[in-house]
Each structure stands twice: as C-alpha cells, then as structure tokens.
Structure 1
Amino acid sequence: MTSIKVADDGGDTVNVVEVDDLLLPPFPIEALVKLPEFKLRPDDVLVCAYPKSGTHWVWEITRQLQAGTTDLELVEKDDGMIELSLSSHFDHQPDPRTLNTHLPFDKLPFDIHNKKCKIIYLLRNPKDVSVSYFNHHRKLEEFYEYHGQWKNYLPMVFDGRLDYGSWFDYVLGWEKAVMGQTNLPILALSYEDLQEDPIKGITQIAKFLGKNYDDDLIKTVCEKCCFKQMKKDKGKLEVFNGEPIMYRKGEVGDWKNWFTVAQNDWFDHVYKTKMRDSNLKIRFTLDS
C-alpha cells in the first residue's frame, strides 16, 4: 500500500492511497489492506455505487425498509461503509445489517461469494457525478489537500486518476456482474429513475428485500428520504469546517451549469468511445 499525490491537468494534487492497483481515499491503512478479508453475514445487504451516485440516499432508504420504520437513530453512512473500518467494527450491528461501499465489483470482499448477500447497485450519469465529485474533493480540503480548478479536474474522473478509479471501468465492471456473469442477487437501479419516480424505486427495493409493505410506509420512507429532508436531518452529522459535505444539490442535470460547450463535446466523444460495447442506457437529464 502506497500513499501518493495524483496531479490533475493543472498540476494540483489529490491525496490517495494505492492498494492492489486501485486508488482509494486516505482511509485507515489497516482497514484498506484487510478489505478482501471483510467478514459478511448471509442476511447483509450491500449498497454499492461509484462515489457521488446517491449512496447515502439508497443506503438510508434500505436501512428504513429493513427496519420497517422511519423512526431510526440518525447515523452517518460511514457507520456502514466497509472500506472505512475493520469488519470487527461492524460486529455489534444487529441483523440484518445494511452496509455500503464504493468498491468496484471485482474488489468486493471474497466473502460476498460465500455468503451471497443481496446487493443493491446504483448508477448515476457521469456528468453529474463528476461535478459532485469535484465539489467533494474541494470541500474535504484538509483530507485530500486538493485546490485545483474544474477545468483541470474533469479528465481525472474518466482516466482513473481519482479514488476508486475511472467511472468507465467501474460501471462496465458492474454491468458484467448485473448482466448475469455472477450468481449473486443484484438489484440495479438508476439514480435518475429513482429521482423521477421515487415511490416506484422504493417499492422495487422493498420487493427485492422480500418486504411486503403497504403504500403508507412506502410513502413515509419516500418523504423521510427525499434530498431536502435528508439534508435537514443528516446534513449536520457530516460537516467539515462547519459546512455539510455530503448533501450539495442532489439534482439531475446540474452538470449543465458546469460543462462548457467544449468540455461537453470532449466528454461525449470519450463516452461514445468507451461505452461502445455497453448496453447501459444513461439518462443525462430527466427529459432523456
């Protein structure tokens, strides 16, 4: 494991660590090194997504559906993030545990194949992801020590110079898993679809979990887990220098306020090339 500084196109650097050819955030060393050995339980549910793809949102939805109530203690998503702590840190959590990770599919703990835990995989359009990830790295200034500009940052998301690697490699790897190249139970969701019709998405998650709830509970979970309410309830739990770090806008299409015409043309070309063999249908706006 090596701590490194990765430079953007303008020379500003991001602090990351490299573990088994994967760049990761500078989390506790022991936890990162022992990730492959993380011990899972058969009834664990693992929420998986590339960073800034709505993991907090779906993790909280899943947590409430598992409990059958919205009346839960407010806790940070980090409490269920497997790359942040040793598996022993999670031993006190009662069954069924709702865990989360940003790991690529091929980097999940080995135990996932033995225990065959249910996986909820969330996919978000890369333009909005890149904008949110930029703000994330800038907000966590003392953690990543990144001071760069948007124009120099953008290429890093797609050529693998950031923690968790290239968005393209990540989603293509997960596409293979979702398309049946594994015997694991996986529910794949679109961030954009969930934004457009959250009741439908939450109902899908409940059904996947084997829950048969009435419409009232589904609606209550929807209201409790909407972006505005979560920012109000949980934003104060995750702050840095007095500012919320995990709840910015949660919108679909905010990338239009950031991408120049030239950047958008560049990205569309890269996207077409990288995704030419993919069957994924990515929505960059709710109109598409």
Structure 2
Amino acid sequence: MSLASEKEANEENEFILSLPKETGLNFTPYLHLFQDFWCPTDYVHGVNKFQKHFDAKDNDVFVASFPKSGTTWLKALTFVIANHQRFSSFDNHPLLSSNPHELVPFPEFMYSYDLHDQILSLSNMSDPRLLSTHLPFPSLPESITKSNCKIIYIRRNPFDTFVSAWEFFTKIKSVSLPEFTLEEAFEKYCNGITMFGPWWSHMLGYWNESKTRPNKVLFLRYEDLKEDTVFHVKRIAEFLDSPIIQRGESSTVIENIIKLCGFEKMKDLEVNKSGSIFDVVEKKTFFRKGEIGDWINYFSPSMIEKLSKIIEEKLGGSGLSFKVHS
C-alpha cells in the first residue's frame, strides 16, 4: 500500500470511529450513524465509494428496498421482465441457475468488499443494467437521483419486516455478531437501530419521491404484490416500457413469469440450497416463508401496541398504509 493510500485508509478509519455506534440487527458487530441512517461498519467506506464513483446510465434500473421487505422476489421478477427479449425461454432461464442476488447485484456491497473485478464488470453489463440497493433515497449517488434511470421500490408492513429480519440475522453464523433476545432486537427496531434504518425514514424517502416523480420511482407494497401478482407484474412491465406490454403478449407470458419467480420454485432450486453471497449469507436463508401475517406468532400484545403507535407517530399523514393480516 502506498503512503497516500495508507493515509487515506487511516483517515477513513478515524472518520468511521468518530461516528455514533450501536449494536443492532446487522451483518457486522456494529452500526454507525452515517448520513442519518444506521450503516454497518464494513459498508461505510463502500457507500462513500459508491456515491463518489458510480456513474449511472439513463436506462439503468434499480431495485431498492429496506432489508427483508421482499427484495429477493422483486429482483427475480424485475430481472425476468427487464430481460424478456434476451431470455425468452423459461426452460433454461438464468434464474434457474443463479440466485437473484447474483443476477441483480448491490454496487454498495461490491465497493465495500473491494470486489474490483465485479466493480469493473458494472461498466460491461448489458443494457439495461439491472442493479439493487438498500440505501435510503437521500444517500443514493447523485448520478442515480439526477439521471433518468428508474427505481422500483418495495416496502413491507413493519411487523413482518421485523420478524423476517430477526429470523434472518439470527441464522447468520458468526461468532462476532452480538446475540439479542427477540425483545432486545425489537427495542432496537423500534428505535430505528437496524441495518439501513430507521425503517420509517427509508420508506418515506422513496414514497415521497414516487409521488413527486412517478416516472422515476415505482413504489410497490409487498402485500399487494402477493395478493394480486398479475396486476402488479403488469405494473412493473409498464413502468419499464417492456415489450411484454407493448406487444400485448398473452397473459400466459405473465403467468409463466410469476411461476418462474414463485417462492417455492426458487426455494427448491439447487442453486439456492447451497453456497453463499459474498461469503457472508447462505443462499438458503433468503427463502424462509414469504408469508403475510407470520408476525402474529411472535408479537405480544404490548409489542403490537408499541409498534402500532410508532407507525402512527412516524408515518401518520403520509398516505402510507399497511395491511398486516392479523
């Protein structure tokens, strides 16, 4: 390492150490309050690099989400829709041999793990490039927010999101991660101290942008996508100006897309049963239940009351509503 790069690394480490620090539901031992959101220690420098060096194209498509909100499913659906002309056969589709997180990568994670080959490959991806992010809207690179690239955002009701996050992070095998009881993790969640939280400001950032610039941000509700998948897959296709809609292709194509991306279908694929993403998360942990309303099996009456009050306090008047199916 050169003296200049060593100095830069030291300054970066000092900067990270200067940020407020907490433990919370996360991949790493600590979260740091960075740009008004709780960023995992290992990702602060990656987010910085992403913001400074990523060059968005006008035809890029981003899948954005708060963690554990239906990201994997939305990535699969968006990949199939956006690439329908390239991969029109459902019998030997890339989704059958690759995990959605491999097909629709997170640039901020690439920069965080210094995956130089993958970072370089971003410029060589076929257009339209399909990428993803967990960053809050205000922390996206300016090249994304100021370009004409499109963002599809999915949000899930905060009850199920918490349970999914709790199950997900407690399954990550790492001696360095703090252990929380369900109640302790819930308190952190209620205070917004979770990976890329607070969850309420994350939702509001994309929600408000979708109202201001509906051609830029498509805001989806996980519960709606589950309940009327055909309708919302068509919405995604329309938003992306997909030939599927332009050519008025038969409903069979939509049904085949939904079937290919179905939860049980993806869960049963060999590619999703073994291996890991970034050597951090086992692929199989991305496929737990995918249900609406599983939170009722975890929440006590006092937890229900507390989270309901926080939702009203933080999101009341915003126009955001939730179906919790209790």
TM-score (norm 1): 0.88
Q: Does the CA contact (< 8 Å) of 2:273 and 2:284 recur in 1? A: yes
1:226 corresponding residue in structure 2: 262
3-state SS of paired residue (1:218): helix
**In the aligned structure 2, how far is the partner of 1:106 from the partner of 1:261?**
35
Does 1:44 find its partner at 2:28?
no
Q: Does the CA contact (< 8 Å) of 1:138 and 1:146 recur in 2? A: no
Structure 1's consecutive aligned runs of 4 or more residues displaced over 6 angstroms after TM superposition are 240-243
Does 1:83 find its partner at 2:108?
yes
Task: Give the superposition deviation at 1:168.
Answer: 1.1
**In the aligned structure 2, how far is the partner of 1:243 from the partner of 1:66?**
23
Relative distance call for 1:113 and 1:236 in structure 2 (3 A) is same
3-state SS of paired residue (2:153): strand
Which residue of 25, 32, 35 maps to 1:20? Answer: 35
**In the aligned structure 2, how far is the partner of 1:227 from the partner of 1:27?**
30
Task: Give the superposition deviation at 1:77.
Answer: 4.1
3-state SS of paired residue (1:115): coil
Moved more, 25-34 or 245-254: 25-34
Moved more, 89-98 or 69-78: 69-78
2:73 corresponding residue in structure 1: 57
Moved more, 91-100 or 69-78: 69-78
Once the two structures are superposed, the pairs formed by residues 192-211 of structure 1 within 5 Å of their partners are 192-211=223-242
Question: Whose Rg is larger?
Answer: 2
Q: Does the CA contact (< 8 Å) of 2:206 and 2:217 recur in 1? A: no
Q: Does the CA contact (< 8 Å) of 1:52 and 1:133 recur in 2? A: yes
1:34 corresponding residue in structure 2: 49
Relative distance call for 1:17 and 1:232 in structure 2 (3 A) is farther
1:72 corresponding residue in structure 2: 94
Relative distance call for 1:106 and 1:2 in structure 2 (3 A) is same
- Residue type at the aligned position of 2:47: L
Moved more, 139-148 or 108-117: 139-148
- Residue type at the aligned position of 1:83: E
**In the aligned structure 2, how far is the partner of 1:225 from the partner of 1:111?**
30
3-state SS of paired residue (1:48): strand
1:2 corresponding residue in structure 2: 16
Relative distance call for 1:242 and 1:271 in structure 2 (3 A) is closer
Q: What whole-Å deviation, never above 9, does each CA across 1:194-213 have from its counterpart, x for those lacking one? A: 10111111111111111142
Q: Does the CA contact (< 8 Å) of 1:35 and 1:83 recur in 2? A: yes
Q: Any gaps of 5 or more consecutive residues in structure 2?
A: 1-14, 112-118
Task: Give the superposition deviation at 1:89.
Answer: 4.4
Task: Give the superposition deviation at 1:125.
Answer: 0.3
Does 1:127 find its partner at 2:127?
no
Relative distance call for 1:183 and 1:262 in structure 2 (3 A) is closer
Write 1 or 2 for the structure with the bigger share of helix: 2
Which residue of 249, 253, 259 maps to 1:217? Answer: 253
CA RMSD of aligned residues (A): 2.6
Once the two structures are superposed, the pairs formed by residues 219-258 of structure 1 within 5 Å of their partners are 219-233=255-269, 234-236=271-273, 239=276, 244-258=284-298
Which residue of 147, 169, 181 maps to 1:137? Answer: 169
3-state SS of paired residue (2:110): coil
Task: Give the superposition deviation at 1:29.
Answer: 5.7
**In the aligned structure 2, how far is the partner of 1:116 from the partner of 1:241?**
32
Q: Does the CA contact (< 8 Å) of 2:23 and 2:30 recur in 1? A: no
Q: Does the CA contact (< 8 Å) of 1:6 and 1:162 recur in 2? A: no
Q: What whole-Å deviation, never above 9, does each CA across 1:141-174 have from its counterpart, x for those lacking one? A: 4186031111111122232211101111111222
**In the aligned structure 1, how far is the partner of 2:210 from the partner of 2:146?**
18
Task: Give the superposition deviation at 1:238.
Answer: 5.2
> How many correspondences in the alignment?
282
Q: What whole-Å deviation, never above 9, does each CA across 1:122-148 have from its counterpart, x for those lacking one? A: 111000000011112211241860311
Does 1:187 find its partner at 2:233?
no
Q: Does the CA contact (< 8 Å) of 2:160 and 2:294 recur in 1? A: yes
Q: Does the CA contact (< 8 Å) of 2:58 and 2:147 recur in 1? A: yes
